[in-house]
């Protein structure tokens, strides 16, 4: 596999506990990616791969600000062309604090920043903090400042969370140069538990193929990106693990990658999520269950199957 994009999941700790979080981040989580591990991954990916970008997120990466800063510094030294962070902005309690942190990060090497702003995050994070962060981010010289907002179902569908997100975006006010990305919640992790009932399920079992998340890109045979979490899991989609750097080197994992050798990805590649569903039914999965889309089906079946494939369906907190 040749990696063009890498996401570091610096931690799953987060002051927020959003209902849509695929990784079930929260204040009770602990652990973070050690700098020595991050540096080793970056070295491998810049030595032997056409790495174009690194994005650090979590959890909330600003909880481990020093590590975030050092990772950006190392990525800059290794000339990773694009260096990005995704945050909920909780830390921008005043404009002065925001300025101090963002200038430090900019000097370390950060180029682009995304703020998550929607009804899910604003249940926990004061909008004033995020406004401070966004406003200051537009003044310190980042290449891109982006607001990501997630919706349940289609972007114009009318439900409690979407209506709240629209109001939150209105309350952000005039944002000038800031890009606003409106996306859809994936029904995995907490979203499958708490939010699936807000969206209508399909009458039939979804039969489409697997399209890897846009931030991974490529396809199952030739994925273009990976995520690495602080526990060493290398994943292609939240909860689908192709190896762990605590037991194998990243080089071995990437050189040895073959989706047809992976018990879950091989089925996804040949038949799509419905293939997983058929196998799961034989093991006792509820054949009358309903799903919103292919990824929701995939997630629910994986959650059921995790007892059989704990190393391949990791990290555990996705389930």
x-marked contacts with ligand SF4 along 105-144 as a string, rule CB under 6 A: ----------------------------------------
Residues in contact with ligand SF4, total (CB under 6 A)? 12
The one segment of 79-87, 164-172, 204-212, 250-258 that binds ligand SF4 by CB under 6 A = 204-212
Decide whether 130 or 185 has the Cβ nearer to ligand SF4: 185
What is the smallest separation between the CB atom of 254 and ligand SF4, expressed in angstroms?
18
In this complex, which beta carbon is closest to ligand SF4, that of residue 133 or of residue 223? 223
Stretch that binds ligand SF4, among 17-25, 139-147, 205-213, 249-257 (CB under 6 A): 205-213
Check binding of 299 to ligand SF4 (CB under 6 A): yes
213 binds ligand SF4 (CB under 6 A): yes
Tokens of 286: 């509820």
Longest dimension (CA), the chain: 59
Query: What string of DSSP letters covers 174-212?
Result: --TT-EEEEEE--S-THHHHHTGGGSPPPSS---PPP--
d(CA 301, CA 280): 7
Shortest Å, Cβ 268 to ligand SF4: 6
Q: Which residues from 252-271 bind ligand SF4, rule CB under 6 A?
A: 268
The contacts of residue 118 (CB under 8 Å, 6+ apart) are 148, 149, 150, 151, 161, 165, 168, 169
Nearer to ligand SF4, 26 or 275 (CB): 275
**Candidate list 241, 298, 313, 314; residue touching ligand SF4; CB under 6 A:** 298
CA dihedral 166, 10, 266, 200 (to 10 degrees): -20
Contact between 240 and ligand SF4 (CB under 6 A)? yes
152 lies in the binding site for ligand SF4 (CB under 6 A): no
Q: Is 314 in the site for ligand SF4 (CB under 6 A)?
A: no
Distance in angstroms (rounded) separating the CA atoms of residues 235 and 315: 9
CA dist., res. 27 & res. 98, Å (int):
21
Q: Is 294 in the site for ligand SF4 (CB under 6 A)?
A: yes
**Interaction of residue 226 with ligand SF4, rule CB under 6 A:** no
Is residue 288 within 8 Å of residue 309, measured between CB atoms? Answer: no
Closest CB 273 distance from ligand SF4, rounded Å? 5
> Rule CB under 6 A: is residue 210 a binding residue for ligand SF4?
yes
Closest CB to ligand SF4 among residues 72, 313: 313
Is residue 192 a contact point for ligand SF4 (CB under 6 A)? no
Least separation in angstroms between residue 294's CB and ligand SF4 is 5
Question: Which residue number, 15 or 213, has a Cβ lying nearer to ligand SF4?
Answer: 213
Q: Which residues contact ligand SF4 (rule: CB under 6 A)?
A: 210-213, 237, 240, 268, 273, 294-295, 298-299
């Amino acid at each position: 596999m040749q990696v063009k994009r890498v996401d570091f999941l610096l931690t799953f700790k987060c002051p927020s506990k959003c209902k849509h979080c695929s990784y079930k981040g929260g204040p009770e989580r602990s652990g973070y990616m050690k700098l020595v591990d991050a540096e080793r991954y970056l070295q491998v990916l810049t030595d032997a791969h056409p790495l174009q970008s690194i994005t650090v997120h979590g959890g909330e990466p600003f909880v481990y600000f020093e590590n975030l800063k050092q990772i950006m510094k190392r990525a800059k030294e290794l000339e990773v062309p694009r260096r990005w962070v995704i945050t909920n902005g909780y830390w921008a309690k005043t404009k002065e604090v925001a300025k101090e942190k963002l200038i430090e990060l900019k000097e370390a090497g950060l180029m682009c920043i995304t703020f998550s702003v929607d009804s899910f995050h604003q249940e926990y994070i004061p909008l004033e903090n995020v406004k401070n962060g966004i406003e200051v981010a537009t003044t310190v010289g980042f290449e891109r400042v982006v607001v990501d907002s997630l919706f349940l179902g289609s972007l114009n569908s009318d439900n409690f969370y979407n209506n709240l997100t629209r109001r939150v975006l209105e309350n952000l006010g005039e944002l000038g140069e800031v890009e606003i990305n409106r996306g859809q919640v994936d029904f995995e992790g907490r979203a499958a538990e708490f939010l699936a009932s807000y969206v209508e399920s399909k009458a039939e079992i979804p039969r489409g193929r697997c399209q890897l998340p846009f931030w991974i890109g490529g396809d199952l045979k030739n994925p273009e990106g990976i995520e690495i979490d602080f526990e060493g899991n290398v994943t292609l989609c939240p909860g689908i693990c192709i190896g762990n750097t605590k037991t194998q080197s990243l080089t071995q994992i990437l050189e040895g990658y073959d989706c047809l050798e992976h018990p879950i990805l091989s089925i996804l590649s040949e038949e799509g999520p419905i293939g997983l569903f058929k196998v799961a039914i034989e093991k006792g999965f509820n054949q009358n269950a309903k799903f919103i889309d292919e990824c929701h089906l995939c997630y629910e079946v994986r959650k059921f199957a995790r007892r059989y494939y704990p190393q391949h369906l990791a990290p555990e907190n996705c389930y």
